[in-house]
Structure 1
Amino acid sequence: MKTKHIFKPAILSLAVTSAMYAGQTFAQEGNGATDQNVEVIAVKGIRGSLMRAQAIKMDNTSIVEAISAEDIGKLPDSSIAESLARLPGLAGERVGGRTSGISVRGFKEDFTGTSLNGRELIGIGDNRGVEYDLYPSEIMTGATIYKSTEANLVVQGIGGTVDLQTVRPLAAEETLTLTGVYEMGGNDSDNPEFTNTGKRYALSFVEKFADDTIGLAVALATTESPRNERKYGVWGYNANDAGQILPSGLDTQAISRVLDRDTISAILQFRPTDDLDIVVDALSIDYSDSGVIRGFIEPFNADPDSLAGSGINASGTQVGANPVLRTDPAQKDGELQTFGLNVKYNIDENWSVMLDAANSQSEKRDLRGESYAGLARNGAIDEFGTRDFQMSSDGVFFTGSTGLGAFADASQLQLTGPQQWGGGMANIADQFASDVNTVFTDADGNPVPFSYLNAQDGFLNYADFEEELTTVRLETEGYVEWGVINKATFGIYYSDRYKMKDNKGFFATASSYPYSESIPSEYLYNGLADLTWAGLGMVVAYNGFAPYRDGEYTLNDAGLLEPDRLGDSYEVNEEVTTLYAKFDFETEIGDFPVMGNFGAQYVSTDQSSTGYLGIVGSNFAVCDDDNNGVVDADCVLSGGDSYSHFLPSLNLSVEVGDNRYVRFAANKTISRARVDQMKASGFVKFDQNIDLIAIPNTEADVEQYGTPWSKFQGNPTLRPLEANNFDLSFENYFEDEGYVSLALFYKDLVNWTDDARDLINFTNDTTNDGANYFIPGFHDRIIQTSGLYGPANVAYEAGDLATPPDFGYFSYFQDGLKGEVKGAEITANIPLGGFVDALEGFGVAASATFIDAELDNGSPIPGQSDEVLSITAYYEMDGFEIRIAATDRSEFSTYQRGGSNKIDTATRDAITVVDAQISYDFEGSGIEYLEGLRISLQGVNLTDEKEETIDSNGIVTLRREFGPSYMLNFNYSFY
């Protein structure tokens, strides 16, 4: 027989839960009392959402947060990411102006498990983290965030688990909903080929058939969303002898992109009997993010005699200005598909069995071209322009220029590389040998011919990613009478993951080399690009993909020229088998009801990786001794390991008063190491700077002055990150939409991936079978001019041969780093009408998270802000709703796609984002044909918050301005 539970939901909990359904009646069985009928009154809008989320939180024995829509297609935001970012303990990270990443309790999404209806979810990024803005809100009905884990929660992470949820058609009301959104950016596009307007459409429906034994839910959504950005950047700042601080180089662009996303979600549910439930679901997302990055990148030199002011408030004239007008077309295309089958069968009235199987696949190409234009090819002129500038804590701003007016006149610009950036093509120098001389001469006064150094006119940079995940789960659960244990769950879970990255690139040289030609007229757009906001005027706008498309550029494979590019291509495989058991219990201690669960997982892992060690060979090519374009066999690497973990968990909930709970949780969790760190690949790199080559050949001198050598390699044997977690919370539910809570948490990080560095001999690398990487004629240098070289002031005569030191650093990843995280979360949902009748409909939802975290080596945890504050003030009455939300997070460390498609660390400055929404639901308007209509106007980033990185001098080194965006939303439910 079915076990009778000691405890039932309180009247308040039942009323909160019932807000999800209209016109239904629930019965509650008290201790020996007669049944009580509770009439349900449906509450919609933000109040209904808060009530449903509160019910989930209240009735869960684990520590969770939740968001819930009243129906499919009715979450208020453009993606699930924006909704998640407002929850207590969570923080959003903007990528390109849109909230994409989500940190949970200070841990970036790579260290947080993400599932869809309990099933592990993949993304289309470089690592494990899911890009939450990939998932339109129109296909979601809500999400539950587990901050403490349970033994049957197979998708886990140190930060927690985010479980996204789609509708189950037989448990939902039938509906047909059409959504239309008009979007407008607050900033006009600075690039003439783009606009600041976009649109979204969505169609969602739920239908039931065959006496409610078959249900079908389908959501179709399409998005076209613009993003216009102003990026100010410098290469860095340096102080001169007078203490005036000036930039060393410029990197400023106007960026325009458009997100195109088409999504199909379909769920078929078949329940022929009360004992059998079959669900088949499919999700397909096609994704494109295309645009242009257009602006100036160039070194900066100031006329010493022109300088005035002091410190960061210097002014003067930039001289020798030879700007590179870079037009970087960008195209990121990806698709994700997932298919799943879930079958649940009730064996008898106590026991059931569940089988879940799924396959997910994603692929992406992230393409960025570079096309250079300027006054002339490097070496063709020696008279350059000037700019007047003013420095401040906001960086450098230009107030006027001479000799640079050509950048607004296409007839005066050349499609060529103005700077000498072709050094990476040294091993194909013969291809660019020329009898044509530049305007420059060498130290002896001889004319210098054009060479590979002058031959880079662009670069085509792209990476391909593929990922596949297959999962199978078999689980049985049943109601039991084993003392205080009333429910037992046993299961086995298997997952097989494959992820691949192919890092590619091509040096581009114009067909006019060694000369240059004007930009072809057919490449030009109507209108100019606007850089006046940086004091750089109006500039020519042309199609940067065009010279690649029509063969104007000759391309050379950078993968065989740059060892770090080949050394960033890899495959990673993981097979994980998890056995788990969970036991739910109910009892009383004194007069206090006690509920919870305990259990454990045994996780067995087999992981491996294949890749390449990028090394320059004797022919100056990378891993291509035969010059046939095929990677040499001795450059192929592989590795891996097998291991297991035992992960216990305990969740305890004590009702210490009427709707007052104290919850405690203790568990051990793991997060798999970053995929880019688990790669077998690596590279050996050499810096051709003569001052580094001239460093004396001793370990002591290398440790003091540096070295031209470097080696880097991933580690396919890395163990998962591991933490012991403890949580304690107090929750007081005093209204059907009101509660306050205080949660304390502590995470003992017993294993984290550490950065390691060893000094090795690059002529006898003991970490690679004694390999000698030194190549005469490539790694040494004939001195052209007598003098002192390098930081050690080594004296050389003209004609001497300078050879590099043998020693350099080998960087890699290793296990064993430890740390700790201590934090507190304070949350309050306050319906003000419960205190003052005149304030009925007004409310405030607020949270504050404070975290003190650090790894033992002093480095920060990616995604961790010391403070995250969020507040939402709202009013809702008779269909009218207005709300204002603000989230504030302090500075945090993260990582991002950097140069050559590799992962770079970055620091994000503190940011406050303010959103607002006003809407009206016509359901109670009395106008019959409008009763399914809801209209809303939403504004995002209303205060035009900028993302800034500030250096130790207090000067901005990077600033991104995205501007606000506005959305007018029409949502109509036909039934």
Structure 2
Amino acid sequence: MRSTSSRFWQYGCVAAALALEYAGESRAQPAAAAPVAASDPIDSAELPRVVVTGVRSSLATAQDTKRQRMEIVDAVVADDIARLPDLSVVDALQRVTGVQITRDRGEGGTVSIRGLSQVVTLLNGREVFTAGPGRALDFADIPSEMLSAIHVFKTSTAGQLEGGIGGTIDLRTRRPFDFAGRTLVTSARMVHGDLVGTAKPQVSVLASQRWNLESAGEFGALLSLAHQRRAFREDQKSSGTPVPRTNLVAGQTIVAPSGTSETRSIGERRRSAADLVLQWRPTPALEWHAEASYAQLHTRQDSHQINVGASGTAEPGSLELFPGTNDVSRVTWTNAPMSVLSFARDTVDRTRQFAVGGDWQGDALRVTGDVSHTRSFNDLFFSGPLFGGTAAAFTHDLTTRVPGTSVSGTNLNDPANFSFASHAFRKRPFDGALTAWRLDLEHEATAGVLKSVSAGVRVARRRASNRTGLIFGDATITGLSAADRPTLVMPNPYGFMPGEGSQSLSEFMVGNLDLARDPGALREAIGLATPLPDAGGPLGTWNFDERTQATYLTARLKAPTLPLEGEMGLRVVRTQESSSGFQSMPGAGGVAPIDVDSRYTDWLPSMSLRYAGQGGLVLRAAASKTITRQNFDQMSPSLSLLRNPVNPELNQGLAGNPELKPVRATNLDFAVERYFSPTTAVHGTLFWKKVDGFVANESSDEVHDGETYRVTRPRNSLPADIKGFELGYQQFYDALPEPLRGLGLQANYTHVDSRTSLAPGGASMPLQNLSRHSVNLIGMYDMGRISARVAYNWRSKFLSGLTNIVGLGQVPSYTAAYAWVDASLRYRYNEQVTLTLEGTNLLRTMRRSYYGADTRPQSVWLNDRQIIGALTVRFW
């Protein structure tokens, strides 16, 4: 993948140079900003005018978007994104009220709105996604430099695309008519990670130009390029699942961790993105646009993992318990099994979107529409050797923040103490494609309470496939010592969790990964004759062809004597799904293809009210019904049956469920907002969601080929109630004397209470990955040439998973509360040059999880603290 990224950047730079050379030969347009182009059915006022240079204009634009929309929405615009060290869209989203994110290799990972990850993602109003078993975009794919704004819609209207019970996130990129004339901006950053000890460069270029074509109107072209490289390191230490033991203390059952797993992952992330936009306005009433977008995220990772397990015997006198519990706090196991897995793990996300559309504005009628095509590819590559051995004594101390581990009596640096166990190899591709066209009409009324009527239609076809399925190519190795292949092993080159006082396993042999990305050569070097498979089993593959037809009608009303507006609408969506896979045939042997078709219709009403009173007071209410279609892997028709020839009562089966219905939700929102100035406001929102049909795996008897099997399938069975409130505040303290008048504060708090039946017997549990409390505090300073931000993000503990453990049942695991701090300092040398010093994860936060109680630790993670130096130059 290295050559693809290099060619992309080389070609992109050439294209930018040619575009700038041509732009330089043209006369610059007048300095006044041109009207913002209206290219989709939302109000054009939401698009930020980049030419505004006031240091607070970005906050004013975002606040005005929130105030003017009928929906309950939060916005972040380009300059605010640039004022903090946000590498991707996820990093920028983490500070939005009601949004929570997970972390992945020191960056933002998944996104949820009010506890729900079922979110529709749009790129300039058009659906976009990352290929995979799910439907959403991996927000980490998009560099933050590509955006002009992010809009987070928490309530729905009939004109919005269906599919997100959590909400809708619309990523807005820049267009040439956003600028007054010729524009060229370049930025370069150097990002240094303290754990990985390496710095990597990041660059971006934006070139835009407008031409007056006289009788043919006005034409604009914009090219935006970004390429990021970031080295990372993540240390993870896991204590293994708790296991009940009856053979350690006579007459007593105690709970001990199953061992330790300590992983050091070192790698590099490369983001590449390009956006080409053409706009043509032949007349003041008509505008055409064409857009081409490309994004790729390539993660290249090397990991070394040592695993030491709890054995059947413990050293006499070494066993200690946490006071008042039966949980082991310290123990030394004898003759403990151990293994070392060294592996290369690379992933690639690649998404392209092409679109052509237009906008015509008459006296009372507005017509907009576009046609778009999106393609996405995702791939995982995993390869490396596994060694096995035995530790004479393994001590596990769980009393410290990072559990202490040590091995004695066995030299872990001696290759003779390890034997090759296997070569691990996995490969997994996903493909996705979407073609859609839409047409929207809005007619303005001239009298009475009816302000406007809108109607529209959207037709889309989406395809998804996991192609070959998971290619599982693990091959067992016997009778070969690591000392027999000295070139394939080496001493571990890394320490572990620096700064922590507890002991960890650092001195041990690991695999040499020079050949890991050439698995055929690695197998040959080990002496394996087993060939690499080129496809997974057919029972693990699926293909989907999904067609949707949606129509909507809305009426916007305005009270004649009150500052009250409302919008009522209905969206009707017809969905047709065709899925194909394979099923096993125990009677005849082998497998056979299976195809399933389904269709259903959803009626999605919505209503929004907005009261704009005196003194900047705004009251809102919204009600709607929303849906989210299930993930593709859950709807796979493939059926795997395992017949038990000895006892037919133990026949087992595993399958997807093509009859799964969408998750449906009923939503209510009430909001109070008060706007004191363009950059000062407070707001509060109450929300409630009734969700029906979350998916859970259930087992039931099914008859196939005349025999009964206990088949496990996903089913719509779990309702959930989600309720809570949001509070937000933003202000610059202009009444203070200089230089303190540049101080400001953004603050928000979200409280979410969720309940669903995830445990056996219908016990009530919160939704996974949802914190009950989350807080954002952003200290701001803007005065003269200086701009500074300090961002504090905190979330309370959350349920991260459920594990079935023999003897203990279903045990919840929680991630403990943690905080994340980023900061930046910008100095505007002059109108063209800005210097920036930034830092992420300044606290070097250690995340921690546990099985139900602190006395049963699960994992700890430590990521880089990153220091970033940046230079931005605006030529025009």
SS at match of 1:677: coil
Instruction: Report what 1:536 is aligned to.
Output: 505
1:941 matches 2:841? yes
Superposed displacement of residue 77, structure 1: 1.7
Give the equivalent residue in structure 2 for 1:283.
Answer: 293
Distance, in Å, in 1 between the alignment partners of 2:475 and 2:304 is 19
Say whether 1:487 aligns with 2:452: yes
Partner of 1:93: 102
CA deviation map 1:438-475 (0-9, x unaligned): xxxxxxxxxxxxxxxxxxx1221121100111111012
Asked if the contact 2:420–2:482 (Cα under 8 Å) also holds between the matched residues in 1, the reply is yes
What SS does the aligned partner of 2:691 have?
strand
Q: Does 1:140 align with 2:147?
A: yes
Match of 1:831 in 2: 732
Given that 1:73 and 1:204 are in contact with CA atoms closer than 8 Å, whether structure 2 keeps it comes out as no
Distance 1:371 1:68 in 2: 47
What letter corresponds to residue 706 of structure 2 in structure 1?
A: G
In structure 2, the residue corresponding to 1:82 is in which secondary structure?
helix
Alignment pair present for 1:855 and 2:821: no
Where 1:481 maps in the other structure, the secondary structure is coil
Aligned residue number for residue 607 of structure 1: 577
Q: Quote how far apart the aligned CAs of 1:239 are.
A: 4.9
Instruction: Give CA deviations for 1:662-705 in whole Å, capped at 9, x if unaligned.
Output: 011111111111222111124346899xxxx9xxx798xxxxxx
Displacement of 1:245: 4.5
Q: Which residue of 1 aligns with 2:433?
A: 468
* TM-score normalised according to structure 2 size: 0.84
**Map of 2:553 onto structure 1:** 581
TM-score (norm 1): 0.76
CA shift for structure 1 position 237: 2.3
Unaligned 5+ runs, structure 1: 1-20, 27-39, 189-194, 376-382, 418-456, 626-631, 700-707, 773-807, 899-903, 924-930
In structure 2, the CA distance between the partners of 1:254 and 1:556, relative to structure 1 (3 Å rule), is same
Q: Deviations over 1:596-615 (max 9, x none)?
A: 32211110000122123357
Indicate which of 746, 749, 771 corresponds to 2:691: 749
CA distance in 2, matches of 1:578, 1:222: 37
CA RMSD of aligned residues (A): 3.3
**1:398 maps to 2:405:** yes
Deviation for aligned residue 1:482: 5.6
Among candidates 323, 345, 353, match of residue 338 of structure 2: 323
| Cα separation, partners in 2 of 1:41 and 1:345, compared to 1, 3 Å | closer
Q: What does 1:920-931 correspond to in 2, within 5 Å?
A: 920-923=827-830, 931=831
Residue aligning to 2:873? 972
Identify which range, 211-220 or 655-664, moves more after superposition. Answer: 211-220
Residue 38 of structure 2 is matched in structure 1 by none
Contact 2:130 2:378 in 1 (8 A): no
Whole-angstrom distance in 1 between the partners of 2:591 and 2:396? 54
Equivalent residue, structure 1, for 2:637: 680
Distance 2:34 2:441 in 1: 31
Cα shift readout 1:168-224 (whole Å, capped 9, x = no counterpart): 211323321111111111213xxxxxx532221111111112347111111111111
Residue 732 of structure 1 aligns with which residue? 674
Q: Secondary structure at the match of 1:272?
A: strand
2:232 maps to 227
Name the larger-Rg structure.
1
1:754–1:316 CA distance, 2 compared to 1 (3 A): closer
Deviation at 1:327, TM superposition (A): 0.5
Deviations 1:732-765 (A, max 9, x none): 001220100111111122443343322x3xxxx4
Residue 870 of structure 1 aligns with an amino acid whose one-letter code is N
1:359 to 349, 358, 373: 373
Matches within 5 A, 1:692-841: 710-758=652-700, 760=701, 765-766=702-703, 768-771=704-707, 809-834=710-735, 839-841=740-742
SS of residue matched to 2:508: strand
Q: Is the 8 A contact 2:413 2:491 kept in 1?
A: no
1:185 to 193, 200, 211: 193
The answer (yes or no) to whether the contact 2:624–2:668 under 8 Å persists in 1 is yes
Report the Cα distance in structure 2 between the residues aligned to 1:41 and 1:571, rounded to whole angstroms.
43
Deviation at 1:726, TM superposition (A): 1.1
User: Aligned residue pairs: how many?
Assistant: 797
Q: Would you say the 8 A contact 1:566–1:614 is kept in 2?
A: no
Query: In structure 2, what is the Cα distance between the partners aligned to 1:956 and 1:556?
Result: 41
SS for the counterpart of 2:332 is: strand
What's the CA shift string for 1:915-970, capped at 9, x where partnerless? 111111223xxxxxxx3111212211221222322013422212221132222121
Equivalent position SS for 1:408: coil
Distance 1:848 1:215 in 2: 42
Matched, 1:258 2:268: yes
1:425-464 alignment, distance < 5 Å: 457-464=422-429
Q: Aligned letter for 2:823?
A: A
2:470 to 501, 504, 515: 504
Q: Give the structure 2 partner of residue 341 of structure 1.
A: 356
Fraction of identical pairs, as percent: 21
- 1:446 maps to none
SS at match of 2:457: strand
Cα distance in 1 for partners of 2:842, 2:94 equals 16
Are the counterparts in 2 of residues 506 and 556 from structure 1 also a CA contact under 8 Å? no
In structure 2, the CA distance between the partners of 1:754 and 1:71, relative to structure 1 (3 Å rule), is closer
Match of 1:208 in 2: 210
* Residues 1:25 and 1:142: Cα distance change in structure 2 (over 3 Å): closer
Cα distance in 1, alignment partners of residues 857 and 120 from structure 2: 35
Tell whether the 8 Å contact from 1:265 to 1:284 is kept in structure 2 after alignment: yes
Partner secondary structure for residue 63 of structure 2: helix
Conserved in 1, the CA contact under 8 Å of 2:142 and 2:271? no
SS in 2 for 1:503: coil
Matched with 1:246 is 256
| AA at the equivalent of 1:935 | L
Cα deviation, residue 547, structure 1: 7.0
Secondary structure of 1:658 counterpart: helix
Give the 3 Å change call, closer, same or farther, for CA 120–850 of structure 1 in structure 2.
Answer: same
Tell me the distance in 2 between the aligned counterparts of 1:468 and 1:906.
36
Secondary structure at the residue paired with 2:273?
A: strand
Task: Return the match for 1:112 from 119, 131, 139.
Answer: 119
